[in-house]
Structure 1
Amino acid sequence: MSGTRLSPNAITVTAPDPRALADFYARLLGAEVAVSDPPREHEPDAAGWAQVRTGGLTLNFEYERHWQAPVWPAEPGRPHATQHLDIHVDDLDVAVAHAVEQGARLADFQPQEDVRVLFDPAGHPFCLFL
């Protein structure tokens, strides 16, 4: 392809409470919630939209009325994660403790020694890795 540049800069994550999830990721990543919009007319109080800018990747969070947390590892007939965040860390044990303190939950199954799979408060899996 020539003549144009494509440069991904953000990912949008759906959630049942996007502003609360943005708060979680801001605390986790030591960032701030840059934008937090209230629900639109006729939406529940938990709806809305929010954005966390990390200095690199921007994380957008939008309301999903029919949210179902994915199952990881995947199981037939159940919702599964179609993507997840990978977060590089210097110290895996310290990073896991910090994530849990912010509201994450450690997955029962851990596929690698230098990676930890956790779930955010909405149930999305994410990985901390060395």
Structure 2
Amino acid sequence: MADRPRLSVTSVTVGSPDPRASARFWAQLLGHRITADDPPGPDEPAEGGWARVSPPAGVDGLTLAFEHERQWRPPVWPARPGEQLATQHVDVHVRDGDLDAAVAWAVACGARLAEHQPQDDVRVLFAPDGHPFCLFL
């Protein structure tokens, strides 16, 4: 391929029933900051709008954006036929190696632990809006 343009991923946008609440959860969980918090438009419900969470100033990393999804249904995990699928999830590296402490922190922030856990070094949790995410060593 000739002269490929320079491209880089900077953010991931996730549908949410309440984007500003999702941003608050992820900002608290990760120690990041909310860098955009747009209110709902005139035709949106009160929990509509859009929000973005970014790493602290001077720290590289992806931003997470959340946009209102009117038809939101939380996914089922593990997947079951005929149920809403989790089309994406966020993987969070536990850098200090204390998975139990990371799970306790996530739960204190509002997450809940999934019943099914597929691996010893990974914990599957659900954000308050129902999106699954993984903490891993």
Do the structures match in fold with TM over 0.5? yes
Q: State the partner residue of 1:80.
A: 85
Q: What SS does structure 2 have at the residue aligned with 1:7?
A: coil
Offset of residue 9 of structure 1: 1.3
Offset of residue 21 of structure 1: 0.4
Q: Distance in 1 between matches of 2:2 and 2:119?
A: 39
Aligned pair 1:62/2:63, yes or no? no
Percent identity over the alignment is 62
Q: What SS does structure 2 have at the residue aligned with 1:96?
A: helix
Offset of residue 2 of structure 1: 3.9
Q: State the partner residue of 2:103.
A: 96
Aligned pair 1:41/2:46, yes or no? no
Q: Which amino acid letter does the alignment assign opposite residue 70 of structure 1?
A: P
Q: Distance in 1 between matches of 2:109 and 2:15?
A: 19
Offset of residue 99 of structure 1: 0.3
TM-score (norm 1): 0.97
Q: State the partner residue of 1:71.
A: 76
Q: In structure 1, list runs of 5 or more residues that go unmatched.
A: none
Q: Distance in 2 between matches of 1:81 and 1:18?
A: 17
Q: In structure 2, list runs of 5 or more residues that go unmatched.
A: none
Offset of residue 6 of structure 1: 2.0
| Higher mean displacement: 22-31 or 4-13 | 4-13
TM-score (norm 2): 0.92
Q: Distance in 1 between matches of 2:75 and 2:87?
A: 9
Q: What SS does structure 2 have at the residue aligned with 1:108?
A: coil
CA RMSD across the alignment: 0.8
Output one character per residue of 1:21-67: Cα deviation in whole Å (capped at 9) or x when no partner.
Answer: 00000000001111100000021100010000124011000000000
Offset of residue 82 of structure 1: 1.2
Q: How many positions carry a matched residue from both structures?
A: 130
Q: Which amino acid letter does the alignment assign opposite residue 95 of structure 1?
A: A
